[in-house]
Amino acid sequence: MTGPFAWQAAGPMLLVEFGGTEKTLRSGPSYQVGRDPRSDIVIDDIRVSWNHAVLRAERGAWFAEDCGSTNGTFVASRRIDRFEITGDCVLHFGSTDGPAMSCSLYRWERTDWPSVDRRPSAVMRAPARALRIGRATDNDIVLDDLGVSRHHAELRNVGDGRYTIVDLDSSNGTFLNGARVIFTSPVTEHDIIGIGPATFRLVGGELRQFIDSGDVSLIAQDLTVRLGDRVLLDRVSFPIGERSLVAVIGPSGAGKTTLLRALTGMAPATEGAVLYDHRDLYSHYAELRHRIGLVPQEDVIYPHLTPRRALGYAAELRFPGDTSDEERSVRVQEVLDELKLNQTTKDRPEPVADTPAAALSGGEKKRVNIALELLTKPSVLFLDEPTSSLDVELKEDSAISANRAGSRCTGPCAANPSATGRESSSSRPATASTWPAG
Ligand SMILES: Nc1ncnc2c1ncn2[C@@H]1O[C@H](COP(=O)(O)OP(=O)(O)OP(=O)(O)O)[C@@H](O)[C@H]1O
Ligand SMILES: [Mg+2]
């Protein structure tokens, strides 16, 4: 993906938070702030001018510029015309106590900025002796996720302010800074513990927990893929914001599949990095690969298997050995229902779920492939040519179902609801797709 197909961002990106919403701004365009509803950041406050200010990057530096507003733009009570954003700061519009926007820079090297510190879903005292984590309800911390073993890991206080994490022979692993823990490992305040969808960090005698429910950003940074003398991807950079849908469009051979394989870590780029929630995907791959789903371009189900059996086998392979048949079949049923694979009609007395794959249409197989990936509720889902065999109705249904079935959380959907003209789904992963040229 070179030349006209490269989407490149030169310089750092600006993360702004206003009214509870975060936006990631890449350098290049100017971002308008004001009361005008067409602004990039709309501030509906009478003290704020219609075109109040602009955020833009110039030669790698970000600036906030007042556009001659009536009541001014302020940083730390000082009225500014033009202000260089060099670190974390808060801008006030219309008055020193007017609507506030916090700004921070995405520095590429800032890979040690884990989500757990920014948005802990729970904070508890570090254990005096030991604290057990797992799926069963008798644990001190219960993680209700089929990827987690019943008794998964234990955080132990070994005295003198030191702690260790012990993996209790879990199926899918306990991770420290992205690497799998073999039996036990010391834990310091600089370390991140990963268990299923949860991340933990010890800070000042507290244990902070963050549950990855899909509220994660993904950043491609200068991805380059070389194959011999050929450059298949040439310094491609872009952010994918939290809860968003991104479509990559390009002709056959443009490098869409190559990009997806680099973004998911399946075939890492020769140069560059992918940041998953500010963590380097390639060096934390053992842990983070479980949070990413990839629906490949080709069909993956064996022709003689029915989708229900295929999903059942996939569940056995991916979920811990201590999950019951019932737990697995409930999840399989959920996914089949979400993707409408269980339905029967007058013309189709046998549901897709119970028809051997060899007898399914291209679109039905595509939905089965999506179902297979959604089984483990990935936070980010990539689909390679997701709609190539689907009609318009099914394209909409699949996009919505993919969003609805995959996530662990509830809340409004930012995954392209306006494109389908339907209401937000209640739960979804962020989604990136590549679309065929034709
Ligand atoms: N393993 C490989 N060996 C040699 N060349 C390769 C390999 N994989 C991809 N390429 C080449 O890299 C380029 C990009 O391929 P890629 O599969 O990413 O394209 P694409 O945009 O996904 O195309 P399509 O829409 O046809 O799926 C193509 O020119 C292809 O021939
Ligand atoms: Mg392709």
Query: 226, 231, 248, 256: which to mutate for ligand 1, most atoms within 8 A of CB?
Result: 256
**Nearest atom, ligand 1, residue 258 CA:** 18
Query: 2, 226, 227, 249: which to mutate for ligand 1, most atoms within 8 A of CB?
Result: 227
Scan for tokens 């201590």, then name that residue. Answer: 322
Query: 227, 249, 258: which to mutate for ligand 1, most atoms within 8 A of CB?
Result: 258
Scan for tokens 């064996």, then name that residue. Answer: 302
Task: Name the DSSP letter for residue 67.
Answer: -
d(CA 134, CA 388): 40
pLDDT at 320 over 90: yes
**Nearest atom, ligand 1, residue 259 CA:** 18
**Across 86-100, average pLDDT:** 93
Amino acid symbol at 234: D
- Give residue 403's pLDDT: 53
Determine if ligand 1 sits within 6 Å of the CB of residue 253.
yes
- Give residue 149's pLDDT: 97
- Give residue 244's pLDDT: 79
Determine if ligand 1 sits within 6 Å of the CB of residue 227.
yes
The DSSP code sequence of 180-203 is EP-SEEEE-TT--EEETTEEEEEE
**Nearest atom, ligand 1, residue 434 CA:** 22
Question: Which residues is 153 bridged to in the sheet?
Answer: 133, 167
**Across 354-367, average pLDDT:** 88
**Across 253-262, average pLDDT:** 91
The answer to whether the CB of 84 falls within 8 A of the CB of 11 is no
d(CA 74, CA 50): 17
Residue range 106-140, pLDDT digits in tens: 654 444 445 666 678 888 889 999 999 999 999 99
Q: Which residues of 46-63 are buried (b: 16+ CB within 10 A; e: fewer)?
A: ebbbebbbbbbbeeeebb
- pLDDT band at 438; cut points 50, 70, 90: very low
3-class secondary structure, 330: helix
**Structure tokens, 362:** 């291209």
User: If you measure from the C-alpha of residue 255 to the centroid of ligand 1, how many angstroms do you get, rounded to a whole number?
Assistant: 6
d(CA 218, CA 404): 20
Give the closest ligand to the alpha carbon of residue 1. Answer: 1
pLDDT at 3 over 70: no
**Structure tokens, 400:** 């919505």
User: If you measure from the C-alpha of residue 1 to the centroid of ligand 2, how many angstroms do you get, rounded to a whole number?
Assistant: 12
Q: Which residue has the higher pLDDT, 294 or 139?
A: 139
Give the closest ligand to the alpha carbon of residue 249. Answer: 1
**Nearest atom, ligand 1, residue 255 CA:** 18
**Nearest atom, ligand 1, residue 254 CA:** 21
Question: Which residues is 225 bridged to in the sheet?
Answer: 233
pLDDT at 427 over 90: no
Query: Is the pTM here over 0.75, yes or no?
Result: no
**Across 267-291, average pLDDT:** 89
d(CA 433, CA 267): 17
Q: What percent of the chain has pLDDT over 70?
A: 82
- Give residue 412's pLDDT: 22
Query: 232, 294, 387, 389: which to mutate for ligand 1, most atoms within 8 A of CB?
Result: 232
Give the closest ligand to the alpha carbon of residue 253. Answer: 1
Note the helical H segments in 283-324: 285-288, 307-318
Long-range contacts of 7-11 (CB under 8 A, 24+ apart): 7/236, 7/237, 7/238, 8/235, 8/236, 8/237, 8/238, 9/237, 9/238, 9/239, 10/60, 11/57, 11/59, 11/60, 11/61
Q: Which residue has the higher pLDDT, 6 or 323?
A: 323
d(CA 351, CA 344): 5
d(CA 271, CA 327): 42
Give the closest ligand to the alpha carbon of residue 255. Answer: 1
**Structure tokens, 345:** 């009609």
Q: Rg of the chain's alpha carbons, rounded to an integer?
A: 24
**Structure tokens, 209:** 């927990």
pLDDT at 161 over 90: no
Residue range 362-392, pLDDT digits in tens: 888 888 999 999 999 998 889 887 666 555 5
d(CA 391, CA 363): 8
**Structure tokens, 200:** 């933990």
Determine if ligand 1 sits within 6 Å of the CB of residue 250.
yes
pLDDT at 420 over 60: no
**Across 154-167, average pLDDT:** 93
The answer to whether the CB of 174 falls within 8 A of the CB of 147 is no
Scan for tokens 């234990």, then name that residue. Answer: 154
Sheet holding 82-85, edge to edge: 41-42, 31-34, 53-58, 61-66, 82-85
**Structure tokens, 81:** 């015309």
pLDDT at 199 over 90: yes
Determine if ligand 1 sits within 6 Å of the CB of residue 1.
no
The DSSP code sequence of 343-402 is ---SS--S-GGGS-GGGS-HHHHHHHHHHHHHTT--SEEEEESTTTT--HHHHHHHHHHH
**Lowest mean pLDDT across 87-91, 167-171, 311-315, 413-417:** 413-417
The DSSP code sequence of 102-147 is EEEEE-TT-----HHHHS-SEEEEPPSSEEEEESSTTSSEE---TT
**Across 262-291, average pLDDT:** 89
- Give residue 178's pLDDT: 87
Residue range 213-240, pLDDT digits in tens: 777 888 898 899 998 889 999 888 888 8
**Across 135-161, average pLDDT:** 94
d(CA 192, CA 203): 11
Determine if ligand 1 sits within 6 Å of the CB of residue 401.
no
